[in-house]
Chain A
């Protein structure tokens, strides 16, 4: 109990620090969200940019003279109420935007994480057990190559091969426009079909990463004394592999799993843009391009909260699996 209480206090402090960091970082970013609009006003009406900026601020409801402290207080108060702020570009609540987009992103990344984790763990352990053999060399080499390919490059490849040349996956979107969203089997199949592209682009590099990590951990565990002892005891290879090696090699990867989800939340932007997928990555890209500080702060906060909480859950799980962590 004391362990959990300590962790909760620690979590609250980390959240406060991280979110303050997000706020300062975004608010210190150069640029003005009204500038784009101001430039078009200035061009259209042949007006001085300063005057146009004044009009743009008024149209977007931005008060450029508001102090950083006032904004920070509003930001933290809003967050405590579960309010992620207001998007000046979309003139809409960030919660509303998140509510529409996050389910799509979560759907793809959680599926991708789940598949890649288990496939990667299996392949990594398998490869380590076949150390030095041709299959191990192939798995390691392919994984290293794939891991080096940025996800958006892979996304372009998948799009052109899968959607353009082979025509086996849809070009984009989450579902066809002529289909009404519902809980029907038909709709679910279409959603799954449309998710294949972004899913593959997200999962494939992750499979490679998990494979290499698991291979390294497994190789290390295989060198441990307790494995030798188990072998001397005459335990079956399959028992040693499943009960002793896999569990111990997997343990450090559990914490990474949570961090991966957070990383993928933010790093999914380009993949979603390439597949025209309606997740938060799309809004992230727009928020940066249009210097929509409200939306950017809201989305960043969401990701930071996501990463910190999933890491916290991972640590708790880790403590449950490995009692030594609790004792420490």
Chain B
């Protein structure tokens, strides 16, 4: 039987070999090739479309891609496009394509209205005029988001362009009116709804891959063959840097389960992937495939214990401080995600891997250091009027300290962290019960405030790797929305009474100026550490497994290019392929 199957295996081996790399991802099926359609285009995104530049978080450097250069003035961004950039059907990529893309994303996604107008100055120059209240960080979005320039080739989408521009303009009008605190009249709303729905229907029904028999892309690779299990991308021969690419074909295996990806990595069927793996699987994996290397990069986020400030329990800073002292973070990390980076003993809101660039020693001297110490936790509680009878702590009002710790069930690593944390808190003398949030219900539970404390993302620098992004989450956006931390209140600091909300606003305006930003960050770091909107547990990492069995040229483990991976790992592969670094053996 074994012999028969082995011989079949030999018979099935592919004959015509082109230099290819095998990766794992997901994509919509049936594949439509419509970036505005359901499920968009899956893992083909970063190969099919290209941003004006790549941003390397580790160095703060921008690498030009579709843009040759750019100029940023107050309220204006002027971009000079590559003259040799072409679509995969041979048509020139021009400023008009950028105008078209912006109109379509504004019309279809009701975003980014921060772009008030976009104008083609000439074939290769495009000028963005920003809305007066657009944050400075939005320039970063323009430069690095692949949606900004190449989603809707004007020669393909031109028949709907006028419609799209009309919808986009109405959308902007409504947005600006609402942002000014004014009411939008019903006629405008109705007009917008009917025009938007009509356009949406036509664009959603458009299936380039079926109707045009191809998906026209400006990026390095175009999808050419797709089944439910595999997707093949072929090098776009018109790509501006195609001559440098040694790899001509990308084969994506569908990421149907982590087990499938582990098996594919071990057997060399996939050359690179980033699944989460328990330690024993990694050990086994390296034993079976010694050519497999691992590089861990920060996923630009931290996992934290978040509190619901809408409930009375955690309004008391003493209880939060006691928890901060008694949690054994290293142990939580070990049982949850063993490869993750330890959280620091300072809870500054700055990711541990980035702390040295942003928080000065002068500031940390002023701050409480949360080294695990149950005795300190006990003393804080006792001083605050809490009492311990037997093995149970009681609030100053005599009620037992009891609460639930919610965690999203399908995230196994979070559940492990929650279990360990519950045990630690119970051992200390609190009465804590772990509560699982069912699949698909995480955001509803968290945003609905139906929890007391929970495991969640704390500070995260996704999209724009800058402290502003993290503080905005903590004090103005996602985390603030779920915790209800009183961010507008002014807190005592060595710099006087300050509100983290106002400081975040201040940071927004100076985010691109590191010197000025550092000064604001010190104050925010202090408030975050002393008033604990969340207690960080560990910094999440992205483990990248790459094999040298069939592919050579992987960068060294210290190469800053790896830090481009979080939020779009294909960008790293794309960069390495199109710069001619990766080669088939």
Question: Which of B38, B111, B254 contacts A92, CB < 8 Å?
Answer: B38
Residues of A within 8 A of B230 (CB): 173, 177
Q: CA–CA, A271 to B60, complex, Å?
A: 44
Chain A residues numbered 183-210 whose CB sits less than 8 Å from any CB in chain B: 189-190, 193, 196
B479 to chain A, nearest CB (A): 11
B211 to chain A, nearest CB (A): 15
Residues of B within 8 A of A278 (CB): 29, 227-229
Q: CA–CA, A38 to B442, complex, Å?
A: 13
Question: Would B260 and A90 count as touching, CB distance under 8 A?
Answer: no
Question: Would A273 and B263 count as touching, CB distance under 8 A?
Answer: no
Q: Chain B 439-453, CB within 8 Å of chain A: the 1/0 string? A: 111011001000000
Question: Would A272 and B256 count as touching, CB distance under 8 A?
Answer: yes
Chain A residues numbered 73-108 whose CB sits less than 8 Å from any CB in chain B: 89-92, 96, 100-101
Question: Would B204 and A91 count as touching, CB distance under 8 A?
Answer: yes
Question: Would A101 and B228 count as touching, CB distance under 8 A?
Answer: yes
B195 to chain A, nearest CB (A): 13
A178: interface (CB < 8 Å)? yes
Residue of B nearest to A290 (CB): B440
Residues of A within 8 A of B92 (CB): none
Q: CA–CA, A178 to B30, complex, Å?
A: 18
Question: Would A45 and B112 count as touching, CB distance under 8 A?
Answer: yes
Question: Which of A44, A164, A173 contacts B266, CB < 8 Å?
Answer: A164
Interface 9-residue window, one of B5-13, B82-90, B356-364, B538-546:
B5-13
Question: Would A172 and B253 count as touching, CB distance under 8 A?
Answer: yes
Residues of A within 8 A of B288 (CB): 164-165
Q: Chain B 476-489, CB within 8 Å of chain A: the 1/0 string? A: 11100100000000
Q: CA–CA, A36 to B439, complex, Å?
A: 12
Question: Which of A49, A100, A164 contacts B30, CB < 8 Å?
Answer: A100
Chain A residues numbered 98-125 whose CB sits less than 8 Å from any CB in chain B: 100-101
Q: Chain B 238-282, CB within 8 Å of chain A: the 1/0 string? A: 000000000000010110110110011011010000000000000
Question: Would B39 and A172 count as touching, CB distance under 8 A?
Answer: no
A40 to chain B, nearest CB (A): 10
Name A's interface SS. Answer: helix
Question: Would B12 and A193 count as touching, CB distance under 8 A?
Answer: yes
Q: CA–CA, A216 to B263, complex, Å?
A: 39
B15 to chain A, nearest CB (A): 9
Question: Would A164 and B38 count as touching, CB distance under 8 A?
Answer: no
Residues of B within 8 A of A91 (CB): 37-38, 204
Residues of B within 8 A of A100 (CB): 29-30, 228
Question: Would A168 and B9 count as touching, CB distance under 8 A?
Answer: yes
Question: Would A39 and B263 count as touching, CB distance under 8 A?
Answer: no
B232: interface (CB < 8 Å)? yes
B509 to chain A, nearest CB (A): 15
Residues of A within 8 A of B308 (CB): none
Q: CA–CA, A91 to B440, complex, Å?
A: 19
Residues of A within 8 A of B440 (CB): 30-31, 35, 288-291
Q: Interface size for chain B: under 10, 10 to 19, 20 to 34, or 35 or more residues? A: 35 or more
B558: interface (CB < 8 Å)? no
A275: interface (CB < 8 Å)? yes
Q: CA–CA, A170 to B8, complex, Å?
A: 10
Q: CA–CA, A218 to B232, complex, Å?
A: 53
Q: CA–CA, A101 to B264, complex, Å?
A: 23
Chain B residues numbered 202-238 whose CB sits less than 8 Å from any CB in chain A: 204, 225, 227-230, 232
* With known contacts A190-B12, A273-B256, A282-B256, A177–B225 Cβ distance under 8 A: yes
* With known contacts A58-B196, A163-B263, A177–B269 Cβ distance under 8 A: no
Q: CA–CA, A274 to B229, complex, Å?
A: 12
Residues of A within 8 A of B410 (CB): 289
Q: CA–CA, A160 to B266, complex, Å?
A: 9
Residues of B within 8 A of A146 (CB): none
Residue of B nearest to A173 (CB): B229
Interface centre among B228, B439, B441, B444 (most CB of A within 10 A): B228
A159: interface (CB < 8 Å)? yes
Question: Would B444 and A31 count as touching, CB distance under 8 A?
Answer: yes
Question: Would B260 and A274 count as touching, CB distance under 8 A?
Answer: yes
Question: Which of B9, B12, B110, B197 contacts A55, CB < 8 Å?
Answer: B110
Interface size on A, residues (CB 8 A): 63
Residue of A nearest to B462 (CB): A43
A327 to chain B, nearest CB (A): 48
A239: interface (CB < 8 Å)? no
Chain A residues numbered 34-55 whose CB sits less than 8 Å from any CB in chain B: 35-36, 38-39, 41-46, 48-49, 55
Residue of A nearest to B196 (CB): A58
Question: Would A49 and B227 count as touching, CB distance under 8 A?
Answer: no
* With known contacts A49-B447, A91-B38, A100-B228, A164–B263 Cβ distance under 8 A: yes
Residues of A within 8 A of B5 (CB): 168-169, 193, 196
Residues of A within 8 A of B29 (CB): 90, 100, 278
Question: Would A171 and B264 count as touching, CB distance under 8 A?
Answer: yes
A156: interface (CB < 8 Å)? yes
B2: interface (CB < 8 Å)? yes
Question: Would B260 and A273 count as touching, CB distance under 8 A?
Answer: yes
Residue of B nearest to A176 (CB): B12
B472: interface (CB < 8 Å)? yes
A321: interface (CB < 8 Å)? no
Residues of A within 8 A of B438 (CB): 30
A276: interface (CB < 8 Å)? yes
Residue of A nearest to B205 (CB): A91
B290: interface (CB < 8 Å)? no
Residue of A nearest to B145 (CB): A44
Residues of B within 8 A of A131 (CB): none
A315: interface (CB < 8 Å)? no
Residue of A nearest to B289 (CB): A164
Q: CA–CA, A178 to B22, complex, Å?
A: 14
B135 to chain A, nearest CB (A): 9
A157 to chain B, nearest CB (A): 10
Q: CA–CA, A243 to B447, complex, Å?
A: 67
Question: Would A89 and B228 count as touching, CB distance under 8 A?
Answer: no
Question: Which of A36, A177, A190, A270 contacts B251, CB < 8 Å?
Answer: A177
Residues of A within 8 A of B59 (CB): none
Q: CA–CA, A55 to B447, complex, Å?
A: 17
Chain A to chain B contacts (Cβ below 8 Å), 23 pairs: A36-B443, A38-B443, A44-B463, A46-B476, A49-B443, A92-B30, A101-B228, A160-B263, A163-B263, A163-B267, A166-B2, A172-B229, A173-B228, A173-B229, A175-B227, A176-B14, A177-B227, A177-B230, A273-B260, A276-B256, A278-B228, A282-B228, A291-B440
Please list the 4 inter-chain residue pairs (A to B) with the smallest Cβ-Cβ separation, ordered nearest first. Answer: A173-B229, A278-B228, A91-B38, A168-B5
What is the interface of chain B, defined by CB distance below 8 A to chain A?
Answer: 2, 5-6, 8-9, 12, 14, 28-30, 37-39, 108-112, 196-197, 200, 204, 225, 227-230, 232, 251, 253-254, 256-257, 259-260, 263-264, 266-267, 269, 288, 410, 438-441, 443-444, 447, 462-463, 472, 476-478, 481
- Given A96-B30, A172-B264, 9 more A-B residue pairs with CB atoms under 8 Å apart are A31-B440, A41-B111, A91-B204, A166-B2, A168-B6, A171-B264, A276-B253, A276-B256, A278-B229
